[in-house]
Chains A and B, each alone.
Chain A
Amino acid sequence: MPSLIAKSACDGLLPLSEGGVTLSEAAPARVTSVAPFAGQEKATDAALKTMGLGWPKPGQSFTKDEAQILWTGRGQAFLISASPAELDGVAALSDQSDGWARIRLEGAGAEAVLARLVPLDLRTAAFPTGSVARTGLNHMMMVLHRAGAETFDIMVFRSMTASAVHELHHAMKALAARAAAL
């Protein structure tokens, strides 16, 4: 068996920085899709509570130390940086770890960068820290999580990584150029 070289989704693409905004790859983490079996939402919530998390409502997330759970769609959430063992038997679990690129956009201009690509109101009043949305990053399906006032965590399908980085970098450069011209 030849030894294969493990590469992360954003290998060779990130980090990037323009005009005080940085784009970087999140540390590799276990990602599990959690879909409660019929009638098992309460049991799923209880199991997640033992982990310091909970079953998120639409647009919601829970964070406990490294562990996170993000709402990702109807009857589905992604458990990140945690073992799903507690959820055995109450929810359908599928490993997604290598299926997604996880990208962090950070800086005072992060909101303005996303405003060029995302058809949502992302001001803190409408999309406060902890909020999650399923929406488009331009033409790509995305999970968007606001991790802080100036910090967004973006997930796109791994096959879309180069396009996502290209789109985000393009918007970052355009904003930096505009700021430099003023």
Chain B
Amino acid sequence: MRINCPLCGTRDRREFTYYGDAVYADRPADGAPIEAWDDYLHLRDNPAGETRDLWYHEMGCSSWIEVTRNTVTHEISATRLLTDRKAPAKKGKKT
């Protein structure tokens, strides 16, 4: 498996550390209801298909990367720096 780091180019999986679902980057707003925090911390989808998660280029440039991949085909369709993500729309709301 190879992951395309937006800075370093395509690199072997061994250079990266997996963190978890990309939802971790969508921290609820201050004062968000308890349900939003419960969702943020504990509730995860388990899709057969496209999913997004966070990887850290630990043996490389130290960037956090959002990887869009397919759990059925194992295809990685997109990667981007976490800093290039737009402000999440669902912040503070229960999805």
Contacts and interface: CB of A to CB of B under 8 A. Distances in A.
Interface string B44-67: 000000000000011111110000
A152 to B, nearest CB: 17
A160 to B, nearest CB: 13
B12 to A, nearest CB: 4
Interface in A72-124: 73-74, 76, 119-120
A58 B59 CA distance: 15
Size category, A interface:
10 to 19
Nearest to B12: A119
Contacts, number: 39
A134 B15 CA distance: 10
B81 A134 contact: no
By secondary structure, the B interface counts as loop
B12 A73 contact: no
B55 to A, nearest CB: 14
Contacts of B59: 134-136, 141
Contact of B8 (A58, A76, A141): A58
Interface residues of B, number: 15
Given A73-B61, A74-B61, A74-B62, A134 B12 contact: no
B62 A73 contact: yes
A11 to B, nearest CB: 27
Interface string A126-151: 00000001111000010000000000
Contacts of A73: 60-63
Nearest to A140: B59
A59 interface: yes
Contact of B14 (A59, A133, A136): A136
- 6 nearest interchain CB pairs? A58-B7, A136-B59, A73-B61, A119-B12, A134-B60, A74-B63
Interface of A: 58-59, 73-74, 76, 119-120, 133-136, 141
20 contacts: A59-B7, A59-B8, A59-B9, A73-B60, A73-B63, A74-B7, A74-B62, A74-B63, A74-B81, A119-B11, A119-B14, A134-B8, A134-B57, A134-B61, A134-B62, A135-B59, A135-B60, A136-B14, A141-B58, A141-B59
